[in-house]
Amino acid sequence: MGVFGGEGMGAMMRPMLHLMVGLVLYEVAEEMVVPALVDKITAALCPADGRSCPEAIYLTGLQSSIGGIFKIIGFPLIGQLADEYGRKPLLLLTASTSIIPFAVLAWSDSKVAVYVYLIARTFSFLIGQGTIFFLSVAYTADVVEPSKRAAAIGFMTGIVSASHALADTLSRFLPVNWIFQVSVALLICSVLYMKIYLTETLQRAPSSPCQHFPLSSLVIRLPQQRWESIKENINMFKNSESLRRIAYVSFFYKLGMSGIIDVRLYYLKSVFGFNKNQFSEILMVVDMGSIFSQILVLPLISHVIGEKGILCVSLLASVAYALLYGVAWAWWVPYFSSLLGVIYVMARPAIHAIICGEVLSADQGKAQGFIATVQSIAILLAPLFMSPLTSYFISEDAPFNCKGFSFLVAGFVLATSLCFAWTLNPKGKDKCKEAAVSDEPYEEALEAPLMVEQP
């Protein structure tokens, strides 16, 4: 019960305080531009039609696909660098990648500025999109003992949801011209705060093979070293049935949800005429409910139904969410379906908690990076079917009247993820019990919460 009491929760989260502050600033800055982006990009690319803009759908899908291609290599690289050089340098790098793209839109609303933004944002996606979260998970695994990691990750995702709710509120009431300026200022503050206050958690043993080489030398030896490390990551997952299955779950879940998120707002604008204000309201419904579900509900039910149970319930909710969007017959249906976001958002911390229980702290960055790579492949593939299907079925050339058909396809993909999740058999708890009685010096049992020293 100590985890759930005020004193126990405070003690658990105290080592993560500065990470949380930096993460909140970053997430508010990233999320507050989302509702405004659709209006700004559509107005610049399709000024003659204020609602439907196939060019915007295709370009944003292309942006996600190109980013996914490079992240297949970039995510495991960043995870490995985080294990070798520390979490803090990589957190600072990823938090700074969105500054230039948003500064471009803060400077101009022209068509040229939108194209420059899309190009710059594509490059920022190669490093920044999704990276800061899995690095934060690895940081959390360093400073929180194994039995409390699921609650800590749930608390962290709840804080992220609270940040998104605050961002959506700001986006709802701020003028469009101010949104991007405020976002850039918050991103700069996030980087500066973590640079000054964040403590590095990774301490390597003196015999560490990489610590005697400067960072520049890594670039010269990069291909061979990275290939060897990637093979180690693949073998880590090949040798664990649970890790293999959670990789399948992550892939299909990300494939479905990424496809939905890429086109959701453009679909609502085209079909129901929504604008920035309605987008903000729908996102607030999800984010405000997520605060409650992830900070309060998740730690409680994780001891009742476990991470697998949470994952299955969340995936079931995501399937229902996609189906409701697919058959939406009135403007209020998207609002109603957004209530399911209170449940399906728990899939993310459940996935990361299962992974944390399957590997030791020394390999957290690699494992989380590998899963992020699997998800990046899904991000690459999602626009290939969602963007064309959405554009086709909201047009007048559709073979039958089902404007949300692409969401029904995404629902089928999410149902596939649910099938894999149902067959999961996590060994994390058994592994911790084995570690507690093990005499091996590298086992989790002998690692302090700040799991740093090895003989």
Is residue 334 a contact partner of residue 103, using CB atoms and an 8 Å limit?
A: no
* Beta-carbon contacts of residue 305 (< 8 Å; ≥ 6 apart): 313
Q: Which two tokens stand for residue 196?
A: 């000054």
Instruction: Please state, in angstroms and rounded to a whole number, the distance separating the CA atoms of residues 92 and 424.
Output: 35
Burial per residue of 41-75, b for 16 or more beta-carbon CB atoms within 10 angstroms, e otherwise: bbbbbeeeeeebbbebbebbbebbbbbbebbeebb
- Angle at CA 231, nearest 5°, toward 226 and 237? 130
The pLDDT score that the predictor gives to residue 439 is 35
The pLDDT score that the predictor gives to residue 51 is 63
The pLDDT score that the predictor gives to residue 29 is 92
The half-sphere exposure of 123 on its side-chain side, counting CA atoms within 13 A, is: 12
- pTM, two decimals, is 0.66
Sign of CA dihedral 155, 158, 160, 166: negative
Q: Walk along the chain (455 residues) and give the pLDDT tens digit of each residue.
A: 444 455 555 666 677 888 889 999 999 998 888 888 888 888 888 776 656 677 788 887 777 777 767 666 666 677 777 877 788 888 898 888 889 999 998 888 888 988 898 888 887 877 766 678 878 888 888 888 777 776 787 778 778 878 888 888 888 888 877 899 999 999 999 999 999 998 887 665 544 444 445 555 555 555 566 566 667 767 777 777 778 888 899 999 999 998 898 888 888 888 888 877 888 888 887 777 777 777 777 777 777 787 888 899 999 999 999 999 988 888 888 888 888 888 888 888 888 888 877 776 666 667 777 787 788 788 888 888 888 888 888 888 888 888 889 999 999 999 999 999 998 876 654 444 333 333 333 333 323 332 233 33
Give which of 377, 317, 324, 381 is closest to 348, Cα–Cα. 317
Cα-Cα-Cα-Cα torsion 135, 137, 143, 148, nearest 10 degrees, comes to 180
Tokens 């209006």: give the residue.
39
Q: Which two tokens stand for residue 70?
A: 């490079």
Instruction: Please state, in angstroms and rounded to a whole number, the distance separating the CA atoms of residues 160 and 411.
Output: 25
The pLDDT score that the predictor gives to residue 455 is 31
Is residue 357 a contact partner of residue 307, using CB atoms and an 8 Å limit?
A: yes
Is residue 199 a contact partner of residue 18, using CB atoms and an 8 Å limit?
A: yes
Q: Which two tokens stand for residue 18?
A: 């500065």
The pLDDT score that the predictor gives to residue 355 is 82
* Beta-carbon contacts of residue 84 (< 8 Å; ≥ 6 apart): 204, 208, 210, 211
